[in-house]
Amino acid sequence: MNRFSNISLALVAYAVCLGFGGTLLGGEKSSPSDDSLNQKLTQVLQEAGFTGLIESTLEQRLGRAVDENLADLGRNLFFDKILGLNGDNACAGCHSPTRGFGDTQSIAIGIDNNNLVGPNRQGPRNQRRTPTVVNTAFYPNQMWNSRFVALSGDPFENSLGFLFPAPEADSLSYLPNLLTAQAFIPPTERIEMAGFDFPGTSHDIRAEVVRRLNESKPYRKLFRKRFQEVKDEGAITYDMLAAAIAEFQISLTLANAPIDEFARGDHGALTRNEKKGALLFFGKAKCVSCHAVSGLSNEMFSDFTPHVIGVPQIVPANTNATFDGPGQIEDFGLEQFTGNSADRYKFRTSPIRNVALQPTFFHNGAFTTLEDAVRHHLNVRKSAKNYSPVGKVAADLSGPTAPIEPVLDLLDEKLQKPIKLSDAEFEQLVAFVRGGLLDPRALFLSDLIPNKLVSGQDPLEFE
């Protein structure tokens, strides 16, 4: 994308500061003469259906070029509190550019926050961690429990419709892609952005958001530049807003990581350790059996299917969300959507591109190092039973956890048997997940923070 094309030499220096190892540093680069390792990995990637070309398919999938002007309008909206009727949150308050457009927290903090975005953000917790919006254009379903779905399995294809929970249901199916349909939801979420003061339905909330936009002279000016209807003195509509926000997120396609470069034939893109880690990921450690790269996965390292993987259930001391179970301290995951108790505790396999940028892991951020998150998969029962939130997550999440036995009773088949890796193998696997899947452009996303909000409101403060 043009937005990122002027990043070149500064990159390596910057990466050094941030402590990203391996490839970016040029550190322990493997020599092209590591022939047998390269051959093996090339073959494994081919067998897995991984091409490293997914990013280059974007415009063909969209059926047009990315609209840079529209994306830039969407960028301004993404950061602006004008979309939050409570007056204190924007998309970026949870999807922070400082963290790859994912959460700075273990569990999202929405309305009634202290205006900070970062480790010191405070306020009542919502239910789950904010996932990244980077690369979401390619997701065939969205959310931790896959409840926003492109029924064709292709997010760029609306012929079979897009399905959302009520009240939207299939009413957003006329939109061109799943991401544009999704943009109708967050401003209507009371605990995320809307607050409890404004009365009415989701429809009323959207009408109020666009009413406020239409009252803003600077926004009218920006929309006028891009939409003929507004130029002709027509109103800004929610559809325009959704198109802009979606376009911004589409422009955040950062799927050119070292593993992609390797798959396209640049054998120096991964370090030797990362290559060995990749062989484990696709082989003995069986990660790819869920973090899939073929078919509908669009090379996003997820099968986009919910599984029970035994994540400890941490409990917020202060929440404005409604949790599940008898004590209202549990998260039933997919069951919330399907109403089927067989789906209890199931969460979608995380697409793990750019996971190195996350400060916390899993749907509730129960783990705070990538090592712990990977180790958990290798011996789920041991990890879950030995888990304590104390000293890991924020103080207001460090109280007693909700029961883990009922979760472990439903543990996915694939993770029943512990997987044994040597210390060296474990390090290689983590090195691959951390460095091999990181698109270096994702280190510069804070450059996208606008200097001021178009609405004139007080901007969020990014730590």
Residue 106, both tokens: 């273990």
Rounded-to-integer distance, Cα 3 and Cα 68, Å: 8
Q: Among residues 11 and 404, whose Cβ is nearest to ligand HEC?
A: 404
Q: What is the DSSP letter of 254?
A: -
Q: Among residues 182 and 383, whose Cβ is nearest to ligand HEC?
A: 182
Q: Among residues 124 and 268, whose Cβ is nearest to ligand HEC?
A: 124
Minimum distance from residue 257 beta carbon to ligand HEC (Å): 14
Residue 322, both tokens: 């409604």
Q: Among residues 30 and 249, whose Cβ is nearest to ligand HEC?
A: 249
What SS3 state is found at 173? coil
Minimum distance from residue 174 beta carbon to ligand HEC (Å): 19
Minimum distance from residue 313 beta carbon to ligand HEC (Å): 10
Minimum distance from residue 364 beta carbon to ligand HEC (Å): 7
> Do 136 and 249 meet the contact criterion of CB atoms below 8 Å apart?
yes
Minimum distance from residue 17 beta carbon to ligand HEC (Å): 24
Minimum distance from residue 126 beta carbon to ligand HEC (Å): 5
Measure the CA angle with vertex 78, ends 75 and 79; round to 5°: 95
Q: Is 273 exposed, middle or buried (0-12, 13-18, 19+ CB in 10 A)?
A: buried
Rounded-to-integer distance, Cα 93 and Cα 87, Å: 12
Minimum distance from residue 10 beta carbon to ligand HEC (Å): 28
Minimum distance from residue 384 beta carbon to ligand HEC (Å): 11
Q: Among residues 26 and 248, whose Cβ is nearest to ligand HEC?
A: 248
Measure the CA angle with vertex 101, ends 426 and 23; round to 5°: 40
Minimum distance from residue 421 beta carbon to ligand HEC (Å): 8
- For every residue of 4-23, DSSP letters joined together read HHT--THHHHHHHHHT--HH
Binding positions for ligand HEC, rule: CB under 6 A: 83, 89, 91, 93-95, 108, 110, 126, 128, 130-131, 133, 136, 139, 142-144, 182-183, 186-187, 192-193, 245, 285-287, 289-291, 307, 309, 311, 347, 349-350, 352, 355, 358, 361-363, 370, 373-374, 377-378, 412, 414-415, 429, 433
Minimum distance from residue 79 beta carbon to ligand HEC (Å): 10
Q: Among residues 77 and 263, whose Cβ is nearest to ligand HEC?
A: 77
Burial 58-92 (b: 16+ CB within 10 A, else e): beebbeeebbeebbbbbbbbbbbbbbbbbebbbbb
Minimum distance from residue 35 beta carbon to ligand HEC (Å): 26
> Do 95 and 102 meet the contact criterion of CB atoms below 8 Å apart?
yes
> Do 55 and 256 meet the contact criterion of CB atoms below 8 Å apart?
yes
Q: Among residues 130 and 237, whose Cβ is nearest to ligand HEC?
A: 130
Q: What is the Cα 33 distance to its own chain's centre? A: 37
Q: Among residues 4 and 101, whose Cβ is nearest to ligand HEC?
A: 101
Residue 375, both tokens: 């180790």
Q: Among residues 4 and 79, whose Cβ is nearest to ligand HEC?
A: 79
Q: Among residues 10 and 317, whose Cβ is nearest to ligand HEC?
A: 317
β-pairing, 306-307 vs 347-348, is: antiparallel
Q: Among residues 266 and 432, whose Cβ is nearest to ligand HEC?
A: 432
Numbers of helices and strands, H then E, in the chain: 19, 7
Minimum distance from residue 415 beta carbon to ligand HEC (Å): 5
Q: Among all chains, which residue has been given the structure tokens 């404004």?
A: 198
Q: Among residues 131 and 440, whose Cβ is nearest to ligand HEC?
A: 131
E strand or H helix that includes residue 307: strand 306-307
Rounded-to-integer distance, Cα 327 and Cα 323, Å: 8
Q: Is 439 exposed, middle or buried (0-12, 13-18, 19+ CB in 10 A)?
A: buried
E strands, 59-167, are: 116-117, 141-142, 148-150, 162-163
> Do 76 and 450 meet the contact criterion of CB atoms below 8 Å apart?
yes
Q: What is the Cα 144 distance to its own chain's centre? A: 10
Establish whether the linkage from the previous residue to 167 is cis, with ω within 30° of 0.
yes
